[in-house]
Structures are given as C-alpha cells and as structure tokens.
Amino acid sequence: MRKLYVIGLGSGNPDHMTVQAIKALNDVDVFFLIDKGPAASELAVAREEICRRFIENPDYRIVRVRDPERNRQSADYKLAVDEWHRARAAAVESVIRDELGSDERGAFLVWGDPTIYDSTIRILQHVLARGTVEFDYEVIPGISSIQALAAAHRIPLNGIGEAVHITTGRNLTQGRTGLSENTVVMLDAENSFRSAPAADPYIYWGAYVGMPDETLIAGRVAEVANRIETVRKRMRDEKGWIMDIYLLKDGKAEE
C-alpha cells in the first residue's frame, strides 16, 4: 500500500530538522510540494534545499501541486476555508493517484509542526474519506514557530503554574480568547495585538522566526505597536509574504 509522511520541518532553520524527520526524508520516493505561487516561492526553495542537504540517495522525485485559490472575500470564513480544503483535497488526491506507485512512499513537507494550524493532515483525511485512493500516513512532529519564538526571545512561554492559550488573530479581534495569562497568536494579518483584552500587556513578536531574515521586537503593546506595524508592512512589501507570530503576556515581562 502507498504510504505518506507528513513531515514537520521546523520554522525555517535547517538545523531544526529532527533525526526522526531526516530518517523519514530518506525513506521517500516522491515529495509533494504545495505551490502557492511566486509570492511564496522562497518557501518552496527552502524545502528543496532541505531535501538536497539531508537526503543521501538523490533518486527521489519532486511533484508540485498547484494550491487552489481561496475566496478571501467571503463573509463566511469557515465556509470559504472548507471549500478551499475540498478543492485542495481533489488536487492532492489526483497527484497521489497519478504520481505515487502502489508500493512507493510520498511526503508532504510542512513548515513548523503539522499539528498546529496546518491543514495537511485534514486534507489527507478528506482524501481518504473520498474513497478513491488508498494509503496509510504517518505524522512526524517538527519544531513549531511557537517554540522557536520563545527560544529566540530567551523566555519561557508560561509563568510558574500558568496556562498557555494558542489562538489566531481573527479570534483575538472577535474577543474569543481563552482564560490564560499567556496567549500565543498565529495567523494574524490585521495586527490584532491591539485588541488584547489584558490591560497593558507585554508582547514578544517575531517575523520569519528561524530564517535568515528573523526579526524580533518586544515591549509593552502600547509602546511598540506602531513599530511592529511599520516593520511588518515593510518586510511584507519587500518579500511579498510574511510569517509572524507573537506571545502576549499579562503583567510584567519575563526577566
């Protein structure tokens, strides 16, 4: 039976690759790369470089899968994402069926960790549910941008005995936050840290964490919000894309 690996690559630094991930890379016949277009070509190049660096046998193939466009104008966010996932599942189903032999092993290379705000596992489950192609799959964890952010700022995520809440910028803006002294915010396109419910929170922000262009800013939100917005816009304009993440902490900063 076909087998697929979903391999976490870490957040941009090739040294984040785990021994388990490298072993999986060397067991793969076909790598499926989701092609998000020219704006994200740097991420595709980074994946290809990881393959060249860590794979001992060069007899592997790379198959690019064109990512369907998502309707970003829809008023129903979850419906738009669900439709996008169905379209991606159809594209993934096609390449698995046509490009992966019945006794071959394939892989999807996932930025960060596949279990944290990534759709690859969900897409494969959609494909299996369609019932037209059979395969087994294994998930290889990776160093997430959450871990890399805290390490880069040289802080723990939580205070003693405190909880950590992981959410999105959309949830933060809409007031859907967990009861936690420490909130990690991902997928924020709107600088939602200004909507933080805590009084005078401290922010640890990072863009391209783990990559050569890594940029870090920390301070009280009231004091550094404008700087973060300016730096974020400049970097996005220069590169055509941005990946950033931040940790909000109630009360005083970590020493």
Could you please report the per-residue DSSP string of 22-78?
A: HHHHTT-SEEEEEE--GGGHHHHHHHHHHHHHH-S----EEEEEEPPPP-TT-S-HH
79 in any annotated domain: yes
Same domain, 156 and 170: yes
pLDDT of the residue at 81: 77
Same domain, 165 and 230: yes
* Domain span holding position 186: 145-249
Same domain, 68 and 193: no
Of 140, 162, 186, which residue constitutes the final position of a domain?
Answer: 140
Same domain, 30 and 155: no
pLDDT of the residue at 39: 60
Q: Are 209 and 11 in contact (CB under 8 A)?
A: yes
Same domain, 66 and 149: no
pLDDT of the residue at 37: 66
Task: Render each residue's pLDDT in the chain as its tens digit; 255 residues.
Answer: 999 999 999 988 899 999 999 999 999 999 998 877 666 677 778 888 898 999 998 889 999 888 777 767 666 677 777 787 888 889 899 999 999 999 999 999 999 999 999 999 999 999 999 999 999 999 999 999 999 999 999 999 998 899 999 999 988 888 777 768 899 999 998 899 988 776 789 999 999 999 999 999 999 999 999 999 999 999 999 988 899 999 999 876 665
pLDDT of the residue at 253: 65
pLDDT of the residue at 247: 96
Same domain, 18 and 116: yes
pLDDT of the residue at 29: 96
Tokens 């001992």: give the residue: 56
Same domain, 149 and 136: no
pLDDT of the residue at 84: 79
Q: Are 43 and 36 in contact (CB under 8 A)?
A: yes
User: How many other CB atoms are there within 10 angstroms of residue 222's CB atom?
Assistant: 12
Tokens of 78: 């979850």
255 in any annotated domain: no
Angle between helices 77-99 and 120-130 (to 10 degrees): 70
Same domain, 217 and 230: yes
Same domain, 13 and 110: yes
Q: Model's pTM, two decimal places?
A: 0.89
Of 140, 164, 193, which residue constitutes the final position of a domain?
Answer: 140
Question: How many whole angstroms separate alpha carbon 88 and alpha carbon 246?
Answer: 28
How many domains, the chain? 2
CA–CA–CA angle 98, 103, 104 (5° rounding): 65
195 in any annotated domain: yes
Report in angstroms the alpha-carbon separations of 93 from 18, 36, 40, 131, 213. 28, 17, 23, 10, 35
Of 113, 140, 167, which residue constitutes the final position of a domain?
Answer: 140
DSSP 166-204: EEEHHHHHTT---S-SEEEEES-SS-GGGG-SSSS-EEE
